[in-house]
Amino acid sequence: MTIGVFDSGVGGLTVLRALRARMPQADFVYLGDTARLPYGTKSPDTVRRYALQAAEALRSRDVSALVVACNTASGVALEALASRWPDVPVVGVVEPGAAAACRRSPAGNIAVIGTESTIRGGAYQAAIARLRPEARVRVRACSVFVALAEEGWFDTPAAEAVAQAYLGDWLQGDDPPDSMVLGCTHFPVLTDLIRRIAGDALVLVDSASTTAEVLAERLGAEPGGGGSVQFLATDGADRFARVGSRFLGQTIDATDVEIVDL
Amino acid sequence: MTIGVFDSGVGGLTVLRALRARMPQADFVYLGDTARLPYGTKSPDTVRRYALQAAEALRSRDVSALVVACNTASGVALEALASRWPDVPVVGVVEPGAAAACRRSPAGNIAVIGTESTIRGGAYQAAIARLRPEARVRVRACSVFVALAEEGWFDTPAAEAVAQAYLGDWLQGDDPPDSMVLGCTHFPVLTDLIRRIAGDALVLVDSASTTAEVLAERLGAEPGGGGSVQFLATDGADRFARVGSRFLGQTIDATDVEIVDL
């Protein structure tokens, strides 16, 4: 079977990576809306419209499940997508990430970091409040992390200074969180960096693997196929391949990226 | 008279600021294409299409001059805009910036920093080569600077670490440039920071004031009017006002930002 995965750009490739690890036989079509990224600074209405267009493009390629590998779009567009396509499983990254944080946080002292619109949208806060009402949640938008991740600065002095600026007061303060949700698909590549500032006690939750788990449950039987991956982007095949390879963890060839118009 | 100014987002407000300082009587309409920013990572064809749409929207508001306050769009779309509207002056930021660098660089040892697509597009390199053929030009894409500027981190330890990472080898090396073009409208707010790393000898060229000078020359007579400014954006009035105020250097009220569809 073919599973459609979409994101505003290349960050969602961290989710594709987890999906392939969990369902190695499935075929995937990944769509990065690189002509219109980032979604994280755009209004909910605009993001919803973009997400519906992207999902439409994937549906036209006969996908039988849809993964919204973008926190911003998961936060604002998941219901609209699910009601438009009631016949296919539609899975976002916010609910699985929030559920994992609630399950794994020792004392329910949870921090969430993400893009500006993910944090303002409040989807993580709402999901955690529903699943673990007594949890204490603190949130922070960390927009510069996206640029660092795209630049490939995963663990440099500059990256460390930015991480200190965003997280130092929480992680080295009197009352550190016991767990932290990496609420943006770009952030998993910064795990080692954050770990180094936070120390080993902090539980770091990235929603990629939990999202893969949730989709596998929804699908029931292990999906068959040839294990292929097809890459679509709305702009810039070269950049998609170059920056995307870092997030996927394997080399993408620019000639394998098909440019589509939404 | 009314002068149209457009940019992919709020960075061009540094240019609007210089235009208003130079032509205080003129009326301005500023359009930030915030729904589709950044242009800096998009392909030339896409940027050209976006620029033509933005210019069309400004033309429909009866502007009698057009300033392309975006380096990326200036680099790839200026000819297309000028040939579409031969009856109005169309001024970009690249030629004025390059001309100022050529004029002010003591020994023609010029560095240019900008977004990925500005640097890859080569418009600054070409303009400098034309104006001062013997100049030595080195270039570097500094994408994280855009995120820093938008975050309001103009002069923090994190911003300094990022600037060191990008520019330390040039500025503190054996053969530093004698002048540097801030080839992105976001960068002027980082002037103090770069100055602190570079020292006083480096000539910093930002194209905002030279662009205002070039437009004033093209217009001839001092433009009259009421000195008004109208703000248009394609998405997110709140964010436009909040982040834009930093670049304009004065407070923008979100209720004064009109959302338009291109």
Q: Do residues A122 and A178 share a domain?
A: yes
Q: Do residues B216 and B238 share a domain?
A: yes
Domain that holds residue A105: 95-207
Domain end position, chosen among A192, A207, A222: A207
As a whole number of angstroms, the distance between CA B179 and CA B222 comes to 31
Residues comprising chain A, all counted: 262
pLDDT at A121: 87
Q: Do residues B127 and B168 share a domain?
A: yes
Distance from CA of B36 to the nearest CA of A (A): 5
Task: Categorize the per-residue pLDDT at A37 as very low, low, confident or very high, splitting at 50, 70 and 90.
Answer: confident
Domain at A215, CATH number: 3.40.50.1860
Q: What is the DSSP string of A195-247?
A: HHHH-TTSEEEEHHHHHHHHHHHHH-SPP-S---EEEEESS-HHHHHHHHHHH
Q: Do residues A132 and A199 share a domain?
A: yes
Task: Categorize the per-residue pLDDT at A41 as very low, low, confident or very high, splitting at 50, 70 and 90.
Answer: confident
Please indicate whether, in this complex, the C-beta atoms of A158 and B162 are within 8 angstroms of each other.
yes
As a whole number of angstroms, the distance between CA A192 and CA B4 comes to 47
Average pLDDT of the residues of chain A: 94
**What 8-state DSSP symbol labels residue B161?**
H
DSSP strands (E only) in chain A: 2-7, 27-32, 65-68, 90-92, 109-114, 136-141, 179-183, 203-206, 229-233, 257-259
3-state secondary structure of B154: coil
Number of domains in chain A: 2
Residues of A within 8 A of B261 (CB-CB) are none
Q: Do residues A65 and A154 share a domain?
A: no
Q: Do residues B179 and B220 share a domain?
A: no
Residues of B within 8 A of A236 (CB-CB) are 41-43
Instruction: Classify residue B62 as exposed, middle or buried by CB count within 10 Å of its CB (0-12, 13-18, 19+).
Output: exposed
**Residue of B144, B35, B11, B114 lying closest to A146 (CA atoms):** B144
Q: Look up B142 and say whether it is catalytic.
A: no
Task: Categorize the per-residue pLDDT at A155 as very low, low, confident or very high, splitting at 50, 70 and 90.
Answer: confident
Q: Do residues B181 and B213 share a domain?
A: no
Average pLDDT of the residues of chain B: 94
As a whole number of angstroms, the distance between CA B129 and CA B102 comes to 9
Residue B92 φ/ψ, nearest 5 degrees? -105, 180
Q: Do residues B248 and B221 share a domain?
A: yes
pLDDT at B21: 95
Q: Do residues B135 and B230 share a domain?
A: no
pLDDT at position A221 over 90: no
Q: Do residues B213 and B202 share a domain?
A: no
Q: Do residues B187 and B214 share a domain?
A: no
Q: Do residues A63 and A193 share a domain?
A: no
Query: Mean of the pLDDT values across residues B237-260?
Result: 95
* Interface mutation vs chain A, best among B42, B72, B187, B238, most A CBs within 10 Å: B42
CB-CB contact of B79 with B107 (8 Å) = no
**Residue of A45, A182, A44 lying closest to A113 (CA atoms):** A182
What six digits make up the tokens of A122? 């409040």
